[in-house]
Amino acid sequence: MSRKKNFFAGPSVLPVEVLKEMEREIANYNDEGLSIVESSHRSEPFNTMYSETLALLGEVMEIPEGYSYFFLGGGGSLQFAMLPLNFLNPAKGATYINSGSWATKALQEAQVIGPVATYWDGKDTSYTTLPAVNTIKPSPESSYLYLCSNETIGGVQWKEWPECGIPLVADMSSDILSRSIPIEKFSLIFAGAQKNMGPAGATLVIIKDEFLEHQNSSIPSILDYRSHQKSNGLYNTPPVFSIWGVKLVLEWVKRNGGTAGMAQRAQLKSSLLYDAIDQSGGYYRSPVDRDYRSTMNIVFRLPSEELEAKFLAATKEAGMVGLKGHRSVGGLRASLYNALPVEDVEALANLMREFQRVNG
């Protein structure tokens, strides 16, 4: 089969080996005479698959003792609400760093629950940069400090983590598994699976057990992290297929050097495009502050919207999909998630040079 070169921002590309394994196993899992998606979440085939997934995740992400982790349904957007419902103390408020579209969504959901202080807002720079970590000093009373590790729409990415004396919470939906994370610096991390980790439908939550002790009471059980922690993520029927997909992706990540290998790949792939941009003499422009350029989502512009449309048509012609920039920022965006082959990025970089040669 001729594979598309898949630059979608999410749901996005999966490793071809993972798809092949799904193809082999989807109708008859492990020769059990049924599909994994036909197995009760209280059955042996599911339980084995599930515990292997969690063990692998703990290993690949090096999750330390004192943390619980599990997969929930409802997407990262549900976490935007669950987080403040559980942890925003109305007397103390919470602090959000507004780095762009996704942080804004999280912040707006929190505002429905209680008082929110925006510590820093990238609005004046159209969300093209981030604050230096050592300048971040939220109120020591604040319930937590929230950040989004990588903004898929703006293309900015945190490179270091603030140490600010209050619980640190991060949405890592769009760069999870793309680098090593010092989990111990965080009280809660969540990440939708559908970019770097697997098929849409599962959201990973990693939570410091100690943090759970500060949890608000009187919220519905399904929205209460304690219910999920106590039942090891099986409080209700889990998104079975997505979790299985995460397992297959984790095996692939492990075979390919773990998070260190993924970081290397991400560095290599993003450099291919940033170099093409930087060496174009201004023909291609990245609006993002060099210090915070995302390795996952490369946002760039051409000299005119007409040329952008023409460029987009050329990528389509070349079997590439997903390169149209988000409507809120325009231009082009290449999402280079873990599973995207290096050759696909090389093809795009070559196309950029060739397009400039002809249309420059």
* Residues acting as catalytic residues: 102, 171, 195
CB of 71 to a copy of itself, least distance (A): 11
Residue 48 or 134: which CB sits closer to a copy of itself? 48
Which parts of this chain interact with a copy of itself (CB under 8 A)? Answer: 1-4, 6, 8-14, 16, 19-20, 22-23, 26-28, 31-35, 37-41, 43, 46, 72-78, 80-81, 85, 108-109, 112-113, 192, 194, 199-202, 218-223, 235-242, 245, 319, 321-322
CB of 259 to a copy of itself, least distance (A): 22
CB of 14 to a copy of itself, least distance (A): 5
Residue 227 or 359: which CB sits closer to a copy of itself? 227
Q: How far is CA 55 from CA 62, 82, 250, in A?
A: 10, 25, 10
d(CA 141, CA 165): 10
Strand pairing class (145-148; 116-121): unpaired
Strand pairing class (145-148; 168-171): parallel
Nearest partner of 97 among 157, 162, 145, 160, judged by Cα: 145
CB of 38 to a copy of itself, least distance (A): 5
DSSP 24-44: HHSSSGGGSSS-GGGS-TTSH
Residue 164 or 188: which CB sits closer to a copy of itself? 188
Residue 58 or 74: which CB sits closer to a copy of itself? 74
- Cβ neighbours of residue 267 closer than 8 Å, sequence gap 6 or more: 295
CB of 235 to a copy of itself, least distance (A): 7
- 19: enclosing H helix or E strand: helix 16-25
Residue 228 or 293: which CB sits closer to a copy of itself? 228
Residue 63 or 334: which CB sits closer to a copy of itself? 334
Residue 87 or 274: which CB sits closer to a copy of itself? 87
d(CA 346, CA 309): 21
**Cβ atoms 103, 96 nearer than 8 A:** yes
- 334: enclosing H helix or E strand: strand 332-335
Tokens describing residue 40: 């009760």
- Cβ neighbours of residue 87 closer than 8 Å, sequence gap 6 or more: 94, 143, 144, 167, 169, 188, 211, 214, 215, 216
Tokens describing residue 310: 């023409």
CB of 96 to a copy of itself, least distance (A): 14
CB of 217 to a copy of itself, least distance (A): 10
Nearest partner of 194 among 14, 2, 6, judged by Cα: 14
Collapsed DSSP state (helix, strand, coil) of residue 115:
coil
